[in-house]
Amino acid sequence: MGECSVRPIVVNQVGYPLRGEKLAVFTGGSHQFRVVEEATGAVVLEGVSGPARFDVSCGATLHTGDFSELTAPGRYRIEQVDGAASAVFSLAERPYHELQQGLLKAFYYYRCGVTLTEEFAGPWAHQACHTAEGRVHGNELLVQDSAGGWHDAGDYGKYSGPGAKAVADLLLAYELYPSSFESAIPLPESDGVMLDVLHECKVELDWLFKMFDPATGGVFHKLTTLKFPGLDVMPEDDRAELYFSPVSAAATGDVAAVMALAARIYEPFDHVYAEKCLQAALRAWEWLERHPQVPGFVNPPDIVTGEYGDAVDTDERYWAAAELLRTTGEEKYHTAVQELAQLDYPKYSLGWADMGGYGTLAYLLRGETIADAALYATLKEGLLAEAARLMEQSAADGYRISLREEDYIWGSNMLVMNHALLLLAAEHVSGDRRYAACALDHLHYLLGRNVLDISYVTGFGDQSVRHPHHRPSVGDGVEAPVPGLVAGGPDRGLHDEYVVEHLQGKPAAQCFADHELSYSTNEVTIYWNSPAVFVAARFNLLK
């Protein structure tokens, strides 16, 4: 495959709930359309799409057709007289249930250090990987246990900050929508007592404990080999030496925050574990206090794996303070939040570099009655203003999402899902359901209602990503990619050789290639999956 082209009729390929708005987007000249039952070819609805307009990000003239009137469960496609047809999609009760399960199961496939057994991984089973101890870079006589956690992405690096973002999204999803997580995935740990989402997050938290520098209490930025292995190397065959990169303030702040969050979430199930998380959070916080000003992380010269450089660490400190406040109730963290909130950095952004949004959410979710009234009001207004901006941008967009042309960056699908998460947070604090409707439009985009007619989630949708830049999917000899993985999506910066050669001059939203060589558009990561789990959890119960 590789290059993807503009398609005449696009829908959410997974489908739509029986009730509520159902829209398809058209690029052809004709405005007449009909909905056809897949099995019988029977026309079940005829309609006319609205006025056409040109969309700059997509480089196409678009119009929207409404088929909300159709409410009978089934499998359908949309057709036009000139022969154009959409992907097949379902109308069903709870159409996003399996999707949510699959997006969460993806984290099992990302597990490192354990055998993925056939019982749980099917054809994607593989041997345990990366079980060796890691060397502390710069102090190479020091070696320590480094096993476990999740691989970051299509590469096998493990990075503290991105890992913390992924866990935070999953724990917040559980906190806001616990009943969406009731069915077992299942996982090897499924026990009917603690939900699988919490079992899965424990995998990463257990590894994050190992990322502490025993000497200082700071958190190592990452654990990787010196360079990336070849694209077809299976995880268990990647046996190069593993190195802990130096401690960074960003990683230490992120881990302080996520450990404080975890301490709260796990307390009802396992007091000892919750206490261990809290002690880790306190350790990391103390490091931050002792290091008020430190330069941002840069890769040591001999390490060329993902850098995740982040020069600004006030947002991570703010998030850590807000989570510690929420978990312990101690006044000193309230003072820290109040001070850090005065500084200038994005307060409604959800990472991986700009984590301030999580601090804001922690403060707002803690509750109004115990908050500093002025700060609470400022942050709530700010959140709703940002949500309003996203709604406005979405209303002006041909596919109803909030990305501006310049937002089609490396990992643009993370922005799509982060924005949806933020809209849902706005719904949560305001009770206004219009934010959720806009968030759902973002899910429709991810699952195929986009200019390329592609579902960016492997294994979900009639025309989903088939060739992700994901080493196990390339190396395992199985035709289908590992399922449930969210691809990065269009990146107008054309950041790899494949897209430089094939996509010159394309409009922003078309700068995507379903090709295994395109690491800047078609890689997958844990922190692109995690906000998608949050969004799917909100809509899992829709009928």
Helix (H) or strand (E) holding 489: none
Query: Which range of residues in 255-263, 402-410, 455-463, 474-482 is near ligand G3I by CB under 6 A?
Result: 402-410
Q: Which residues of 210-245 are buried (b: 16+ CB within 10 A; e: fewer)?
A: bbbbeeebbbbbbbbbeebbebebbbeebeeebbbb
User: Is the Cβ of residue 153 or residue 249 nearer to ligand G3I in the bound state?
Assistant: 153
By a kind-dependent CB cut-off of 5 to 8 A, residue 130 interacts, out of Zn ion, ligand 9MR, ligand G3I, none, with Zn ion
Point out the catalytic residue in the list 152, 169, 397, 523. 523
By a kind-dependent CB cut-off of 5 to 8 A, residue 235 interacts, out of Zn ion, ligand 9MR, ligand G3I, none, with Zn ion
Q: Tell whether residue 314 is a contact of ligand G3I (CB under 6 A).
A: no
Kindly state the number of chain residues that form the binding site for ligand 9MR, as judged by CB under 6 A: 8
Residue with tokens 């409604």: 348
Handedness of CA 337, 342, 346, 347 (dihedral sign): positive
Reported for 432-438, long-range contacts at CB under 8 A and 24+ positions apart, including other chains, are: 434/391, 435/387, 435/391, 436/538, 437/21, 438/390, 438/391, 438/394, 438/400, 438/402
User: Is the Cβ of residue 153 or residue 511 nearer to Zn ion in the bound state?
Assistant: 153
Site string for ligand G3I, 247-286 (x = CB under 6 A): ----------------------------------------
Q: Let me know if 221 is a catalytic residue.
A: no
Q: Tell whether residue 152 is a contact of ligand G3I (CB under 6 A).
A: yes
Q: Which of 74, 218, 235, 472 is in the footprint of Zn ion by CB under 5 A?
A: 235
* Residues 474, 46: Cα–Cα separation, whole Å: 43
210: nearest Cα among 168, 244, 165, 171: 244
* Residues 258, 140: Cα–Cα separation, whole Å: 29
Query: Nearest distance from residue 313's CB to ligand G3I, in Å?
Result: 16
**Sites for Zn ion among residues 130-149 (CB under 5 A):** 130
Query: Nearest distance from residue 168's CB to ligand 9MR, in Å?
Result: 21
Sheet holding 134-136, edge to edge: 143-144, 134-136, 242-244, 222-224, 158-159
Listing DSSP states for 170-228 in one string gives HHHHHHH-GGGG-S----TT--SSS-HHHHHHHHHHHHHHTTB-TTTS-BBSEEE-SSP
Site string for ligand G3I, 45-84 (x = CB under 6 A): ----------------------------------------
Asked if residue 354 lies in contact with residue 390, where contact means CB atoms within 8 angstroms, the answer is no
Q: Tell whether residue 306 is a contact of ligand 9MR (CB under 6 A).
A: yes
By a kind-dependent CB cut-off of 5 to 8 A, residue 28 interacts, out of ligand 9MR, ligand G3I, Zn ion, none, with none
By a kind-dependent CB cut-off of 5 to 8 A, residue 406 interacts, out of ligand 9MR, ligand G3I, Zn ion, none, with ligand G3I
User: Is the Cβ of residue 227 or residue 271 nearer to ligand 9MR in the bound state?
Assistant: 227
Point out the catalytic residue in the list 199, 469, 470, 515. 469
- Which amino acid, 196? D
429: nearest Cα among 477, 476, 472, 381: 381
**Sites for ligand 9MR among residues 140-159 (CB under 6 A):** 153-155
Residue with tokens 């809209």: 423
Residue with tokens 């480094």: 146
Asked if residue 387 lies in contact with residue 426, where contact means CB atoms within 8 angstroms, the answer is yes
Q: Tell whether residue 498 is a contact of ligand 9MR (CB under 6 A).
A: no
Q: Tell whether residue 519 is a contact of ligand 9MR (CB under 6 A).
A: yes
Q: Tell whether residue 231 is a contact of ligand 9MR (CB under 6 A).
A: yes
Q: Let me know if 469 is a catalytic residue.
A: yes
Point out the catalytic residue in the list 155, 514, 515, 516. 514
Query: Nearest distance from residue 41's CB to ligand G3I, in Å?
Result: 43
* Residues 303, 325: Cα–Cα separation, whole Å: 36
Site string for Zn ion, 97-136 (x = CB under 5 A): ---------------x----------------xx------
Cα 431 to chain centroid, rounded? 24
By a kind-dependent CB cut-off of 5 to 8 A, residue 112 interacts, out of ligand 9MR, ligand G3I, Zn ion, none, with Zn ion
Q: What is the DSSP letter of 154?
A: S
Q: Which of 409, 452, 482, 503 is in the footprint of ligand G3I by CB under 6 A?
A: 409
Q: Are strands 89-92 and 15-17 parallel, antiparallel or unpaired?
A: parallel
- For the beta carbon of residue 72, count every other beta carbon within 10 angstroms: 10
By a kind-dependent CB cut-off of 5 to 8 A, residue 409 interacts, out of ligand G3I, Zn ion, ligand 9MR, none, with ligand G3I
Q: Tell whether residue 525 is a contact of ligand G3I (CB under 6 A).
A: yes
Listing DSSP states for 364-394 in one string gives HHH-STTS-HHHHHHHHHHHHHHHHHHHHHH
Q: Is 179 exposed, middle or buried (0-12, 13-18, 19+ CB in 10 A)?
A: exposed
- Which amino acid, 277? C
Query: Nearest distance from residue 520's CB to ligand G3I, in Å?
Result: 7
Q: Tell whether residue 406 is a contact of ligand G3I (CB under 6 A).
A: yes
Query: Nearest distance from residue 231's CB to ligand 9MR, in Å?
Result: 6
324: nearest Cα among 259, 267, 252, 404: 259
Site string for Zn ion, 8-47 (x = CB under 5 A): ----------------------------------------
By a kind-dependent CB cut-off of 5 to 8 A, residue 323 interacts, out of ligand 9MR, ligand G3I, Zn ion, none, with none
Catalytically active residues are: 469, 514, 523
What is the contact surface with ligand G3I in residues (CB under 6 A)?
152-153, 155, 157, 306, 406, 409-411, 493, 495, 519, 523, 525
Q: Which residues bind ligand 9MR (CB under 6 A)?
A: 153-155, 228, 231, 306, 519, 523
